[in-house]
A = this chain, B = another copy of it.
Amino acid sequence: MYQAKAYSAASSTSPLASTKIPRRDPTDTDVQIEILFCGICHSDLHQLRNEWASVMPTVYPLVPGHEIVGRVMKVGSAVAKFKPGDLAAVGCMVDSDGTCPECRAGFEHFCPNLTLTYNFPDHHLGGVTYGGYSESIVVDQRFVLRLPSNLDLAGAAPLLCAGITTYSPLRQHRVTKGKKVGVVGLGGLGHMGVKLARALDAHVVAFTTSPKKKDDALRLGADEVVVSRNSDEMQKHVESFDFILDTVSADHDIDALINLLRREGNLTLVGAPSKPLAISSFSLLMRRRNLSGSNIGGIAETQEMLDFCAQHNITADVEVIPIQKVNEAYQRLLKSDVKYRFSIDMASLKVE
């Protein structure tokens, strides 16, 4: 065991502050990674504020962060896939049982014995796992991804959550050339959805509530932009979409979006509005449409996504900040004042 610099929150109302946390010495199957960049996901903020108390109550001190890229420092004796100096990445999970039907099918994220990257029981050291707002992390090799060397590291970090969360449903629903695909919401997830759907050769329509975002949506790769509050614009697209990726976490009119689907079209939610969704059964009945959810992706699919991004040179649009600005960044995140993801430069932690 060793001590690593990190930023943690002491309670649901505390700011994140400099601290030291224990990390285990690498076991035979572990990879020790120096963290270079860590993205800030909205989940980090929800978890800090204990806003998911009913499903995942927060244990303090909390060290958030599950969009991790870095460089391998040390590997256990049984690790063949990585060597010191390699680029590596870690996403939302760091362990699973590896033997259940979900794991065997490549859905480690649905394993009943899953360990998330932070705020989950730590089977090695006791207590809970600590995330990526830290100078290093030690992770079993099964949960370490290869990071292609051509990607910008700061922009690659958000791929580990925002990237896989949007890539997985686009792939599951066979988004490809000739398909008309909507991406709703132009935030951390949505801007990745637009980039990925475009790279998959779909006809991409971005939906935003803010006319100001039109130009940016086009720049990100959208073929068209619809202001979802403009019912005339919406009407033009009725019954025309094969697939809609809905990344919005706030309460919004999902029925209006479902009605834009053609027969047997699918709208997949990747945001998690806290209020129940109000869905008219008629919207689903009338063209036997489908409403689904999706939640990150398995390890093999995450690697596939990173390789796909490398091939198409896709990273997130990020604003790089030093860790000392993390509390300010959280305040700005609440106002959606970021294009489109904060990425923490972990070199800044060395001066603490």
Give chain A's interface residues, CB within 8 Å of chain B: 55, 102, 107, 110, 169, 172, 255, 263, 266, 269-273, 276-295
Contacts and interface: CB of A to CB of B under 8 A. Distances in A.
A271 B284 CA distance: 11
A172 B263 CA distance: 13
B293 A263 contact: no
Given A110-B263, A263-B102, A292 B281 contact: no
A295 to B, nearest CB: 4
A294 B286 CA distance: 7
A107 B281 contact: no
A172 B287 CA distance: 13
Contacts of A277: 278-281
A263 B107 contact: yes
The 8 closest A-B pairs by CB, nearest first: A284-B293, A285-B293, A276-B278, A285-B295, A290-B292, A291-B291, A277-B279, A288-B294
A80 B96 CA distance: 64
Contacts of A293: 281-286, 288-289
Contacts of A271: 281
Contacts of A255: 276
A286 B112 CA distance: 11
A284 B291 contact: yes
B269 A285 contact: yes
Contacts of A172: 288
Given A107-B263, A263-B102, A285 B294 contact: yes
Given A172-B288, A263-B102, A269 B281 contact: yes
Contacts of A283: 293
A242 to B, nearest CB: 13
A279 B263 CA distance: 22
B285 A55 contact: no
A292 B291 contact: yes
Contact of A286 (B266, B285, B295): B295
A286 B294 CA distance: 7
Most buried by B among A169, A270, A287: A287
B263 A55 contact: no
A272 B282 contact: yes
Nearest to A52: B282
Given A288-B295, A290-B290, 18 more contacts: A110-B263, A172-B288, A255-B276, A272-B282, A272-B285, A273-B281, A276-B279, A277-B279, A277-B281, A279-B291, A281-B293, A282-B293, A284-B291, A284-B293, A285-B294, A286-B293, A288-B294, A290-B291
